[in-house]
Copies of this chain bind each other. A is one copy, B any other.
Amino acid sequence: MTIKIGVIGTGAIGREHIKRITNTLSGGKIVAVTDVNQAVANQVSEELVPDAVIYPDDKELIAAENVEAVLVASWGPAHEQSVLAAIEAGKYVFCEKPLATTAEGCKRIVEAEMRQGKRLVQVGFMRRYDSGYVQLKEAIDSNFIGEPLMIQCAHRNPEVPDSYTTDMAITDTLIHEIDALHWLVDDDYKSVQVVFPKKSKHASEHLQDPQIIMLETNSGITINAEVFVNCKYGYDIQCEVIGEEGIARLPEVSSIVTRKNAKLGTNILMDWKQRFIDAYDKELQAFMDSIKLTGEPAGPTAWDGYIAAVTADACVKAQQSGQRETIALGKKPDFYQNNVTSKV
């Protein structure tokens, strides 16, 4: 059985997903594409999926009878409308982050999905599929390190363009930790405080870099997350969970070990695209496999998208206030309890 997929947004990320589904993964087929820039849609289709139908907009693509699932890779502000339309049409949606640009938008999606009575949406938080995070979660879930008490993590990029602003440290960068960490410890965020260390000379005038974001969870776990997007030396994702009985830490990126010029060492990636390349493959394969197997996607839910939005809002507020800010999520609907994903 092959899932027939329509892609909304054929920019860089959309193209990657089209190539992935067409050339690498099993069980999916791109049957439809659309883009606000029709010329881009034409070109991508011609180059990668000549058999796909090109639609003038997301509405028509979603309405197409042979489209079973929709992959939303347009720019952020357009996500909500496409996701809502797909839900309305009872079609599966894989939506790149953000699910919507506001918490309210995410809430509307959550409510629409609940009205449909079945899970249709998976959000593109790929870290849950990264082999290192999966091992980390297993170590926690198996109680190998005992009850988690603290998390120490870092998200570092060698550099960012001048257009990168202080709030993007949250909305573009920390957003992945926001999703991955509550999933790791199966807990919800309660409050956040942001501290600005001494600024790097490599950061642009308008950018506070690095930043330390201190999150607290409902059960009291303290999370210390460093975002440092002009660290120069590499793209580096660190995460260490300190528990009552021991500590577990993400592996370094797998690299040959060399001895040369008085140095013993391994290679650090410079390009973020390589870091989670396997995880991108796995999240989409899992999306398709779980739909086939259970009739519902098993990955990060619309509710997870909502958590990310509410938490990011509070983080940005904490950046501005310098104070500890509350994160008020409300109770998780039963609908989203026991979803298969969190067991993956």
Contacts and interface: CB of A to CB of B under 8 A. Distances in A.
Interface in A107-151: 131-132, 135-136, 139, 144-150
Contacts of A251: 254-257, 266
A26 interface: yes
A236 to B, nearest CB: 7
A237 interface: no
B198 A147 contact: yes
B246 A136 contact: no
Nearest to A246: B260
A280 B24 CA distance: 14
Interface string A34-52: 0000000000000000000
B198 A144 contact: no
A174 interface: no
A263 interface: yes
A111 B17 CA distance: 43
- State how many copies of this chain the complex holds: 4
Contacts of A210: 149-150, 242
Given A150-B197, A249-B258, A264-B268, 20 more contacts: A23-B26, A24-B26, A131-B254, A139-B258, A146-B232, A150-B198, A150-B212, A198-B220, A202-B244, A232-B245, A233-B246, A233-B263, A236-B259, A246-B259, A246-B260, A248-B257, A262-B267, A262-B268, A263-B265, A263-B267
A18 B103 CA distance: 45
Given A150-B197, A212-B150, A260 B145 contact: yes
A242 B260 CA distance: 11
Contacts of A82: none
B197 A149 contact: yes
Interface of A: 22-27, 131-132, 135-136, 139, 144-150, 152, 195, 197-202, 210, 212, 214, 219-222, 224, 226, 228, 231-234, 236, 242, 244-252, 254-270, 278, 285, 289
Query: Of residues A152, A198, A245, which shows the largest number of chain B Cβ atoms within 10 Å of its Cβ?
Result: A198
A298 to B, nearest CB: 16
Contacts of A214: 195
B258 A232 contact: no
Contacts of A269: 262
13 contacts: A146-B232, A149-B198, A150-B198, A195-B214, A197-B221, A232-B244, A233-B247, A233-B263, A249-B256, A249-B258, A251-B266, A262-B269, A263-B265
A68 B300 CA distance: 40
A312 to B, nearest CB: 21
B233 A222 contact: no
B260 A247 contact: yes
A233 B249 contact: no
A266 to B, nearest CB: 5
Contacts of A278: 278
A91 B85 CA distance: 48
Contacts of A236: 259
Query: Of residues A195, A242, A289, which shows the largest number of chain B Cβ atoms within 10 Å of its Cβ?
Result: A242
A254 B256 contact: no
Given A234-B262, A265-B264, A285-B24, A256 B200 contact: no
